[in-house]
Structure 1
């Protein structure tokens, strides 16, 4: 036995057995091959994704103005998971319309792609689009402004409007440019506005019917400033009697001698250095004090005043009818006295004659 173990054939046999064991161990799937198996399975799993991609034009856009196509289209890609993920993250492909050989007019054109990996399948929606190719034209227009002046608070006026820039560049199909009647901004002022309007406003190109024309404006917005102010001045007040007085003489007193009036320039121009304040005495029977609402007293002559109210003391004087009655009584008394004196004189005369 010892002789066999020490022989070269024994060791050769052992080596052969080990080699066979290693061969079968490596060839049989097991725990050691899990990672490689997972990697292999990952590379063969398919995945689907839908992307939104900008649509590009292959055309002479300096010469032609092209409309009718969407800015973006959707493309659904499908293929190996890793490849779909990489394509989704990088989007290193293009979707485009080839219009180079097309003439002026409408055309139905297929959307094409370039740059997608050949292992991916794809579907583009929409597959076809209808484009309108027209001769390109560029023109400058002055910007008009239109706003509702009724939005201003009572008595307030709008000054000279500022638009910056006051011209815009309009680009579009020559046929569309010809339709433009005016380029305008329409700022929307808050109801009852009392302060300067100062905002960016969208520019519109309109035809003679007031409909929007399909053109490109540069810039698309302009800065609009509308100064909104109200005029005012200080005036003295004249307290004037109003209503039936019943021949009563009234006098008026107030601690307020002058007020500030507010309104439009035309309202200010119509008033000199003073205003008449009517004091209604139709319900006054004696000395009293009234609070006068200046807005009601002045009506539409001004927008409002400062102060808005004043206190007026109303004093009543002597009545003319009372004075007349007094004179009549005095005359009657005097007459009566004279008659008495005459009677006394007659009585005295008679007595003397008797004697």
Structure 2
């Protein structure tokens, strides 16, 4: 036994056993391998995500005008969680329509992808689209302005409309360009507007029936300015008696001598430098004042006036007549007194003369 233990073969056998034990210990899963196992499990978990992606065209867009396709489509991807998340964040792939070999007309085309990782599965919605390929044409059009003039406040007028820019570039299928009857803007003016309209307005291309034509406009909006003003001038007023009255001594007076009238250019041109203001005196029996509404008096000759009303004093002359009668009576009384005094004086003179004659005879 001692020989066996001291033998080189024994030590070699022991070394072999230890080596085998260490090998199996290291190879057996344990605490140290848990983390690697978890990472392996995580990488195999699947995930799904739906993305909205721009749809690209592979076509000669300088020569052809293409319509009918959506700007964006949805794609659902599925695969390893980490890969799905990375793809969702970067979107480093494309969805496209290959139209290079298609002729003019309508075509049903499948949407294709490029750049997606091969470990991902995907589905695109919609899978097919119908496109219309037409010969491309570009043309310039002047911009017309169409608005409701009845929106202006009474008496106000619109001046020359300014449009900037006054022309737009229209691009589309040649067949659509031919349909265009006019390119217009339709500004919507607030009801009763009294000040200049100044806004950006959407441009529209319309056919002869007033329907929108499917084309691209550049620019899509233009700046529209519509000056809105009202004309005015100052005129004097002439108070005119209106209606029958028994008093022939009536007089009309007002502190207001001049007014300003407002209206359209044609209304202002038709107004003279002075206007007659009729005052109804048919119901006047004594001194009084009346408020005259100038808008009612001038009617549709003007839009409005400043001031809108005036106060008119109507004098019947009754106070001055009483004064004159009193003065007349006073004068008559004085005349009577003077006549009486003259008679008395005459009588006294005659008496004195008689007395002198009698004395002379004696």
* TM-score normalized by the length of structure 2: 0.81
Instruction: Say if 2:251 is the partner of 1:251.
Output: yes
Alpha carbons of 1:17 and 1:278: their partners in 2 closer, same or farther (altered >3 Å)?
Answer: farther
Q: Does 1:51 pair with 2:51?
A: yes
Q: Map 1:144-183 to 2 at 5 A.
A: 144-183=144-183
The DSSP-based 3-state class of the residue aligned with 2:69 is coil
With 279-288 and 184-193 compared, the bigger mean Cα shift is at: 279-288
- Aligned-partner Cα distance in 2 for 1:67–1:135: 11
Of the structure 1 ranges 280-289 and 44-53, higher mean CA displacement relative to structure 2 is found in: 280-289
Supply the RMSD in Å over aligned alpha carbons: 2.6
Shift of 1:244: 3.3
Asked if 1 retains the 8 angstrom alpha-carbon contact of 2:247 and 2:316, the reply is no
Could you tell me how far apart the structure 1 residues matched to 2:178 and 2:162 are? 27
Name the residue aligned to 2:120: 120
After TM superposition, list the pairs within 5 Å mapping 1:1-355 onto structure 2: 23=23, 25-246=25-246, 248-317=248-317
SS of 2:244's partner is: coil
1:239 is displaced (CA, Å) by 1.3
C-alpha displacement at 1:242, in angstroms? 2.4
Alpha-carbon displacement from aligned partner over 1:250-284 (angstroms, at most 9, x marks no partner): 21111111111111111110112111222222332
Give me the TM-score of the superposition, normalised by structure 1.
Answer: 0.83
Query: CA separation of 1:234/1:10 partners in 2, compared to 1, >3 Å: closer, same or farther?
Result: farther
**What is the rounded CA distance, in whole Å, between the counterparts of 2:242 and 2:226 in structure 1?**
42
Alpha-carbon contact 1:48-1:78 (below 8 Å) kept: yes
- SS of equivalent to 1:171: strand
Contact conserved, 2:176 with 2:215, CA < 8 A, in 1? yes
- Alpha-carbon spacing, 1:222–1:13, altered in 2? closer, same or farther (3 Å): same
Kept after mapping to 1: 8 A contact 2:110/2:127: yes
Aligned residues of 1:248 and 1:317 also touching (Cα < 8 A): no
Tell me if the contact between 2:234 and 2:260 (Cα under 8 Å) persists in the aligned partners: yes
CA contact (8 A) 1:238 1:277 kept: yes
Distance 2:134 2:265 in 1: 53
Q: Which residue of 1 aligns with 2:349?
A: none
Query: Any idea what SS the aligned residue of 1:75 has?
Result: strand
Describe the SS at the equivalent of 1:279.
strand
Larger radius of gyration: 2
Report the CA distance between 1:247 and its aligned residue.
5.0
Q: Is the 8 A contact 1:142 1:183 kept in 2?
A: yes
2:343 alignment partner in structure 1:
none
* Structure 2 gap ranges (5+): 326-362
CA distance in 2, matches of 1:147, 1:66: 33
Alpha-carbon contact 2:203-2:222 (below 8 Å) kept: yes
Check 1:138–1:9 CA distance in 2 against 1; reply closer, same or farther (3 A cut).
Answer: same
Give the superposition deviation at 1:20: 6.1
Helix, strand or coil at the partner of 1:240: strand
1:341 paired residue number: none
- Quick one: distance in 2 between partners of 1:251 and 1:74? 90
Does the CA-based 8 Å contact 2:64-2:133 persist in structure 1? yes
In the alignment, structure 1 segments of 5+ residues that lack a partner are 327-355
Query: SS where residue 60 of structure 1 aligns?
Result: coil
The whole-number CA distance in structure 2 between the counterparts of 1:235 and 1:119 is 91
Taking a change above 3 Å as real, the CA distance of residues 210 and 14 of structure 1, as seen in their structure-2 partners, is same
Question: Relative to structure 1, is the Cα distance of residues 17 and 256 closer, same or farther in structure 2, using a 3 angstrom cutoff?
Answer: farther
